[in-house]
A and B are shown apart, each in its own frame.
Chain A
Amino acid sequence: METITISPGVRLTVINELKFKTACLSMNVLSPLKKETAALNAVLPYVLRRGTASKPDMQTIEAFLDDNYGARLEAFVRKRGEIQICGFYSDFADEAFLGGETGLLERMTDLMGEMLLSPATFGGRLRKEYVDTERENLIADIRASLNDKRGYANLSLIQNMFKKEAYGVPKLGRELEARKISVATLTRHYKSLIASSPVEVIYVGAENPRRVAAAVKSALSARAPVFGAEIPQTSVFGVSSAKPKFIREEMPLKQAKLSLGYRIEKDAVENDQPALTVMNAIFGGAVTSKLFREVREKRGLCYYASSTVDRMKRAMFVSCGIDTGKYDEAMEAIEAELRAMQNGEITDEELESAKSFIVGAMYSVEDSLPARESVTLNFLLQGLDIKPSEFGGLCDLVTKEEVVACARRVQLDTVFFLAGKGEGK
């Protein structure tokens, strides 16, 4: 892994891997997650993806991608902690398998650079027809979160739990702000975003860092340097003495969804990220976990039950699907498993399985192109300068005592229950 500063505000990380038959490149524009700008950031890459100065419409871009052996270039918006990231991800064939074809890396990097810096415009502003359709698409996407009930319950939990924090802002923003997007507001936002935000470029593939750096430098040469651009921070509030909040909503559903949110207090001395990761795997992050085995398998209370942890925000989330009438039983069972962990009831087997799950998963990340790209970005934002497998190695060293200490810093904050209408209590 090599990290190279291309220009003030642009940093490139190159992961050299010879085993893949494709390479990937991402350009990530980082900005603090905020209610006012979330929808603007969410729509922007999709508008930019529609056309550039030299390739002004989708058909020209698609023809160019086809010609480059079906290279893919996708707009994205990501949320990591309280950072909103918009940009592009591209993957394209490795030249070694194209029978003498060269320059694919440079052509794709140029296209991404142009997309970011030289969009198709009309009268100096972003094109109205692109802004209008993509705004409607964003609104449709925000509403479509209704279709996936599990996702809806998890999103509602986060919005309620972090009402007063940036973390509560959804990745796509809210419909209210999305509606206000216009050519004028988006063009203004675009200019200020490009002029002030740090850009992280990540490459995973067979080309050497020198060649990649030269390609990125040339592709982004039109950008004025951004001095003093720093990775936005994610605020962490410790647990509070207030009682947990309970929120209930009803929908005509066959299966009810239960989502729980916990806060995890910081360890004053230690960096406990590996311990946090192991604790989550024991609790609900792996198939050997307490939630999966006890709540799902043994007690048959739900079809799925799992937990995830956000190490940046220091929050843990449990998500499960249950019968509406089993709410009390499920709540009690989930809470009991957390208490067990806090009381040190963790068997050697549970600890070892959780660790080997993480170690295996981290090695697997290194064998997958998109996973490697995504984890590399996460690690950069968390200030971890190690490979995924090395992080797996750190998790493998975690002791039971460290896991218990970590579990004792966990406190329930909010419960969101999406109940089936007219059923159960």
Chain B
Amino acid sequence: MTKKEYPRIGETVFYETLENGLRVAIVKKPGFRKKMAFLSVLFGSADVNFTYKGEKYEMPAGTAHFLEHKMFEREGGEDALAVLSKRGATANAFTSTDMTAFHFECTKLFYENLETLVDFVMHPAFTDESIEKEKSIIAQEIVMGEDDPDNALYYNLLRCLFRRHPIRAEVVGTVKSIEGITAEKLMLCHEAFYCPGNMQLVLCGDLDEKETIKKVAELITAPRGFAPARVYPKESEKPFREEKNAVMDVAAPLFLAGAKTEMGLRGSGAIRHELTAALSLSVLMGEASPLYARLYSEGVINETFGYDFESTNGVSFISFGGETDESDRVISDVMREAKNLAENGLDSAFLERRKKSVIGDELRGLSSFDSICYNVACAMSEGYDYFDLVPVIGSITEKEVRNFLAKYVTPGRFAVSTVRGREEKI
């Protein structure tokens, strides 16, 4: 077990890799009554094409999410969620494009709850009938997403940016695609991906590290497994399509513009790229930026305006958007300002203030168990140390920010997705 202390932010973390390959992190939180466990499997909605034991497979869109739902079923149809809830724990799960995670938090009976969590995640107990029944529940979830303008906005942007990459497909799949899911396919995915060598466990709370590791080793005894390698189609730098427009029930028109950035980064390179992106976008169009202040006071954008950086399944992209009647103008102003900053340089005092602010945000994240567990799990899978972010932010230079803006925030790289209301005149 490796102990790492981060005196600057007052954190202590223990890392251990079990013999069967399971990676464990224990984040010590003295004084908290709450404890949280976060068990993640490196299997997401984008892992639909893979090779396992020499065979090639193609799974229906939505398989990882469907499997997540079905893992809660225990022998005799018992619901694991109910078991945990009865003990007062709050449990949930989610599937993203690159991960399936199961987690709970509780204020008592932590080890019993952990045992239940491990038990239901490691041992599928679904049947053909229960899978058929689940299809109607998930179909409702899919249909609900179809009424959500933000959902349409986001996926239409991905479908513009990427030509073939499986992150174009919705995590939940479609009503049609999930029809093709069977118990046999789910069992195969479970066998291939839900193995200790492809999983990570993050625990957070006032825990004794030795006792905890011992319990975990007793609970997760499965062999390492042979999880399939992740291979995704290559994508070009330019977007596949320039725009996609949808009409839905919205009060104000929405837009989301995005561009691909670096691909295939891992470890310290990945985190430096991510933090450079966050800092560059905040300098360019964050709430403290001159551009934001100008567009906001002119009433062109409102508080729904925001930006994001995402890195997943070997690709990264930036996006920005919100409600506005003048999306073309917002986009061209952002491009012009990026060019201006890249060419003429940044106000160095402003950059330093933004860095201080990002450090404050990191400290804030350390009071939230959800945020710690999720971020540590992502960092483990990407191969960097989440608790080292503060010094990395401090070391990002003005030149890196300018290079980022010059390289990625340029018109040729961007695609735009819009949603406007039905009754609106064109």
What is the interface of chain A, defined by CB distance below 8 A to chain B?
Answer: 18-22, 57-59, 62-63, 65-72, 91-94, 96-97, 99, 129, 132-133, 136-137, 140, 143-147, 149, 251-255, 286-288, 293, 296-297, 300, 302-303, 321, 323, 349, 352-353, 356-357, 359-361, 363-364, 366-369
Contacts and interface: CB of A to CB of B under 8 A. Distances in A.
B1 interface: no
Of the listed residues A20, A70, A252, the one surrounded by the most CB atoms of chain B closer than 10 A to its CB is: A70
B43 to A, nearest CB: 24
Given A133-B296, A286-B85, A323-B140, 14 more contacts: A66-B354, A69-B356, A69-B363, A70-B356, A91-B364, A96-B10, A97-B8, A129-B297, A146-B249, A147-B249, A147-B250, A252-B422, A287-B81, A368-B367
B33 interface: yes
Of the listed residues B86, B89, B358, the one surrounded by the most CB atoms of chain A closer than 10 A to its CB is: B86
A245 B304 CA distance: 36
B88 A19 contact: no
Interface string B354-371: 101111110110111100
Interface stretch (B100-108, B263-271, B377-385): B100-108
A133 B364 contact: no
A367 B297 contact: no
A57 B293 contact: yes
Given A57-B293, A97-B10, A366-B33, A62 B360 contact: no
A67 B108 CA distance: 40
A59 B249 contact: no
Contacts of B88: 353, 356-357, 359-360
Contacts of B33: 363, 366-367
Contacts of B425: none
22 contacts: A19-B31, A22-B364, A58-B293, A59-B288, A63-B353, A65-B288, A70-B359, A92-B360, A97-B363, A133-B299, A137-B303, A145-B251, A146-B250, A254-B147, A321-B140, A356-B87, A356-B88, A357-B85, A360-B88, A360-B106, A360-B107, A364-B107
A66 B356 contact: yes
B223 interface: no
B372 to A, nearest CB: 11
B251 A143 contact: yes
B136 A300 contact: yes
Interface of B: 8-10, 29-34, 79, 81-82, 85-91, 105-108, 133, 136-137, 140-141, 143-144, 146-147, 149-150, 249-252, 287-288, 290, 292-293, 296-297, 299, 302-304, 323, 350, 353-354, 356-361, 363-364, 366-369, 422
Closest 6 CB pairs of A and B: A70-B360, A356-B88, A70-B357, A62-B288, A143-B251, A303-B140
B367 A22 contact: yes
A265 to B, nearest CB: 29
A65 B356 CA distance: 10
B146 A251 contact: no
Contact of A293 (B32, B82, B89, B356): B82
Given A132-B299, A367-B34, A93 B360 contact: yes
B252 A144 contact: yes
B144 A321 contact: yes
Contacts of A129: 297
A143 B141 CA distance: 25
Contacts of B304: 144
B288 A63 contact: yes
Contacts of B293: 57-59, 62
A369 B367 contact: yes
Nearest to A350: B86
Of the listed residues B323, B358, B364, the one surrounded by the most CB atoms of chain A closer than 10 A to its CB is: B364
Contacts of A66: 288, 353-354, 356-357
A363 B299 CA distance: 43
Nearest to B144: A255
Contact of B251 (A146, A255, A356): A146
A72 B287 CA distance: 11
B106 to A, nearest CB: 6
